[in-house]
Structure 1
Amino acid sequence: MKRSNLAHRVSRIAAAVCFSLAATASFADPVSLNIVDVAGNLALTKAGFEAFKAKYPNLVSNITYTNAPAPQLPGKLKAMQAAGRSDIDLVVTGTDALAAGIEQNIWTKVSTEDSKGFSDALGKYAPAPRKMQDLAQGYGLEVTYMPAGPLLEYNPAKVSAADVPKTPEQLLSWCKAHPNKLIYARPANSGPGRTFLMGLPYVLHDKDPQDPINGWDKTWAFLKQLNECVPYYPGGTSAVMKELGEGTRDMTVTVTGWDINPRALGIVPADFKVAAFENMTWINDAHYMVIPKGVPKEKLDVLHKLMSFMLEPAQQAMTFDDGYFYPGPAIKGVTIKDAPAHSQEVIQKYGRSEYETWIAKYPHALPLPADKMVAAFQKWDREVGAQKTK
């Protein structure tokens, strides 16, 4: 009987050891990651993500990529988290969904203050991108950077040099004289749209450019007047560039990357021009890597390593891409000479010498913080685009 009890106990201990070893092996197994892009950022970073998978097959078995509209994702994630699901592991986003997600409390904090987090990341950023990192409020890590705009892009065959607007007032006059020929996309889902929205208070000398509710009287009045000659507001920038390239519209608002990239891809003719407002202020832009709440611990460890990897010079040099988020790199010391040969050729052919002049000449400002950006989007949706957004 005693021998039987002893055998039973040994059997139980052996089973427990086997279970423990299986659990350890499972934890150490490579993970599959689902990355969702709501900013067109994968054009800049997918090669870097794939380089990580190739370098660390012991950590990552597979990466799936999905694109989604920025305005819809935060609500979807909120519902998934309420249901106890975590199908999305990493989101690459612009300031739009970043801000909405902070407001809805759906992102996981990432530490930049201790050795287990990203304490070395802050020192890697160039000065302007370093300021943009603060917008994440500890909920994400900036991966790409662009001094954005607001700029105007136009068809030189339809808009003479003498008619190119240099002020918002001149833009309004041109629009009224050429109804339905100016178009821009809904700011909540468009980099050029939101850059235009946030840049106007500076150009119009509004009371407080950082307060869209109480400090933008001139901006809202201007946008409502402009609304009278804008046919409708597409849901994203791609539709705007398609109409501009096809000749349906003659002018739009743009940013550096959305000027260069569609011309490089042949969506917009290469000879289209850009103009800056007199005394403009650059509204800088950035893309961020954020982790939704609910991602399991074994994936968090891999994601943290991946996010750090994306800030290394080799991956940052890839973000010059085809000029989509010009220039692209967020860290110090990465120049176009470090970029792949194809990227160098694209920037040489489709970049603009004016950009370096304007970037140095005009002051730079941060976009609105999360709560105020969301408030600005909601007010625009309600008071400007309500009847014309598609």
Structure 2
Amino acid sequence: MTLSGRLSVRVAAVCVAVGAAFAPAARAADPVTLNIVDVAGDLQLTQKGFEAFKAKYPNLVSNITFTNAPAPQLPGKIKAMQAAGRSDIDLVLTGTDALAAGIEQNLWEKLLPDHAAVFPGVLDNYAPGPRKMQDLAQGYGLEVAYMPAGPLLEYNPAKVTDPPKTPEQLLQWCKAHPNKLIYARPANSGPGRTFLMGLPYVLGDKDPQDPIHGWDKTWAFLKQLNDCVPYYPGGTSAVMKELGEGTRDMTVTVTGWDINPRALGIVPAEFRVQAFDNMTWVNDAHYMVIPKGVPKDKLDVLYKLMNFMLEPAQQALTYDDGYFYPGPAIKGVTVEQAPAQSQAVLKKFGRPEYAKLLADHPHVLPLSAAAMVAAFQKWDREVGAAKTK
């Protein structure tokens, strides 16, 4: 090559390098729209956090749509979408019910350990009780809210002067006051399933973690109780409405479903709760899960969003109005960090006795995914079949 030729090549190379240096950067991906479906009532705790993420990162999220749906119907809907190659739902907020059903049907994206790099230290940030609940997700979701739930009885003190302290006393009261006790279908009710899962401990069944072979006393008790229960609503809200209106005098509840309806005026503030003498707390949690099939551009945003929801500022919002008491899942988030309204509600409608009850009685995890699905199916088939609405 001649000298002039070599100079031409060098000049061309320099021009290319300079051109690359001053060329506009590759266009960032367009902001995405996210569709979040809630089957646990979790948006009451978290919607403000999701909206804060959208406000902070308009370059990532253009819009978030929020939809509520019944937990029992969601797995079938997602399975049908996945079979059709569609991805209409980007994030699901669920309790242990749809979490379990989705794990059983292989509907959820595996987050841990598969994507541990994008969730650094997440498991170490959970408080001890929530950390155990996180194990129930089997890596398919991240816990976003926590409640040491129940089971508890809630009653109208004007109508129930001597509240039951044992399941036997509850059965006797129910028979003496037919149609005055009500609870919702466990497959779509936190209080309903907590009652279902707590009974084997109180009744002394041989294996509280095996609803098919270890719950002889529980199933016998529920079938007897069925005779004096008028019907089983499809969700807890209907139960609280009837309790508040005076149609019923007693129901089963959990800490959050005791505090929040009274704070909202659905249930009178003076209504009381009673724990069984030898109760065991069955804890509860809400989870963020991603259905399989969500495209990668959305997955990257969702991972960032999930990390954001586990930061202290967003976790403090989960104190809410006592709906999922206390609420936060990560360490060190105190009620003093909660919004002023949350602090005022809990001061007025919280129960001073909860601290002692939570300290004095043992705590256990809910059933595993497979066992929970089996328990729901057996209850639907053998207890609630003729009375569920």
Equivalent residues in 2 for 1:305-384 (5 A)?
Answer: 305-384=304-383
Equivalent residues in 2 for 1:59-208 (5 A)?
Answer: 59-112=60-113, 115-160=116-161, 163-208=162-207
Aligned-residue offset at 1:36? 0.2
Query: How far, CA to CA, are the matches of 2:69 and 2:120 in structure 1?
Result: 30
DSSP 3-state at the match of 1:171: helix
Aligned-residue offset at 1:222? 0.1
**Would you say 1:225 and 2:224 are equivalent positions?**
yes
Deviation readout 1:271-329 (Å, 9 max, x if unpaired): 00000001100000000000001100000000000000000000000000000000000
Query: How far, CA to CA, are the matches of 2:111 and 2:105 in structure 1?
Result: 17
DSSP 3-state at the match of 2:282: strand
Aligned-residue offset at 1:115? 4.9
DSSP 3-state at the match of 2:160: coil
Deviation readout 1:78-115 (Å, 9 max, x if unpaired): 00000000000000000000000101111001124765
Query: How far, CA to CA, are the matches of 1:236 and 1:111 in structure 2?
Result: 31
Identity level (%): 82
**Would you say 1:295 and 2:294 are equivalent positions?**
yes
Query: How far, CA to CA, are the matches of 1:106 and 1:332 in structure 2?
Result: 30
DSSP 3-state at the match of 1:357: helix
Query: How far, CA to CA, are the matches of 1:201 and 1:106 in structure 2?
Result: 30
Aligned-residue offset at 1:217? 0.1
Query: How far, CA to CA, are the matches of 1:36 and 1:120 in structure 2?
Result: 26
DSSP 3-state at the match of 2:228: coil
Query: How far, CA to CA, are the matches of 1:166 and 1:138 in structure 2?
Result: 38
Q: Is the 8 A contact 1:281 1:365 kept in 2?
A: yes
Query: How far, CA to CA, are the matches of 1:114 and 1:76 in structure 2?
Result: 26
Deviation readout 1:197-235 (Å, 9 max, x if unpaired): 000000000000000000000000000000000000000
**Would you say 1:283 and 2:279 are equivalent positions?**
no
Q: Residue 52 of structure 1 corresponds to which residue in structure 2?
A: 53
Q: TM-score, normalised by structure 2?
A: 0.93
Query: How far, CA to CA, are the matches of 2:84 and 2:327 in structure 1?
Result: 37
DSSP 3-state at the match of 2:149: strand
Matched AA of 1:190 = S
Query: How far, CA to CA, are the matches of 1:336 and 1:115 in structure 2?
Result: 30
Q: Is the 8 A contact 1:289 1:307 kept in 2?
A: yes
DSSP 3-state at the match of 1:74: helix
Query: How far, CA to CA, are the matches of 1:280 and 1:250 in structure 2?
Result: 21
Q: Is the 8 A contact 1:112 1:119 kept in 2?
A: no
CA distance change for structure 1 residues 96 and 114 in 2, over 3 Å: closer, same or farther? closer
Q: Residue 238 of structure 1 corresponds to which residue in structure 2?
A: 237
DSSP 3-state at the match of 2:175: helix
Query: How far, CA to CA, are the matches of 1:111 and 1:174 in structure 2?
Result: 47
Aligned-residue offset at 1:118? 1.8
Q: Is the 8 A contact 1:112 1:121 kept in 2?
A: no
Q: Residue 4 of structure 1 corresponds to which residue in structure 2?
A: none
> Mind listing any 5+ residue stretches in structure 2 that lack a counterpart?
1-22
Equivalent residues in 2 for 1:264-275 (5 A)?
Answer: 264-275=263-274
Q: Residue 6 of structure 2 corresponds to which residue in structure 1?
A: none
Query: How far, CA to CA, are the matches of 2:236 and 2:274 in structure 1?
Result: 18
DSSP 3-state at the match of 2:374: helix
Query: How far, CA to CA, are the matches of 2:115 and 2:170 in structure 1?
Result: 49
Aligned-residue offset at 1:28? 1.1
DSSP 3-state at the match of 1:116: helix
DSSP 3-state at the match of 2:131: helix
Query: How far, CA to CA, are the matches of 1:234 and 1:81 in structure 2?
Result: 30
Q: Residue 255 of structure 1 corresponds to which residue in structure 2?
A: 254
DSSP 3-state at the match of 1:36: strand
Query: How far, CA to CA, are the matches of 2:80 and 2:119 in structure 1?
Result: 29
| Larger Rg belongs to | 2
CA distance change for structure 1 residues 112 and 319 in 2, over 3 Å: closer, same or farther? farther
Aligned-residue offset at 1:117? 3.1
Query: How far, CA to CA, are the matches of 2:63 and 2:118 in structure 1?
Result: 24
DSSP 3-state at the match of 1:136: coil
Query: How far, CA to CA, are the matches of 1:115 and 1:299 in structure 2?
Result: 17
Q: Is the 8 A contact 1:30 1:57 kept in 2?
A: yes
Query: How far, CA to CA, are the matches of 1:221 and 1:171 in structure 2?
Result: 14
Residues matched between the structures, number: 366
Matched AA of 1:89 = D
Query: How far, CA to CA, are the matches of 1:114 and 1:71 in structure 2?
Result: 28
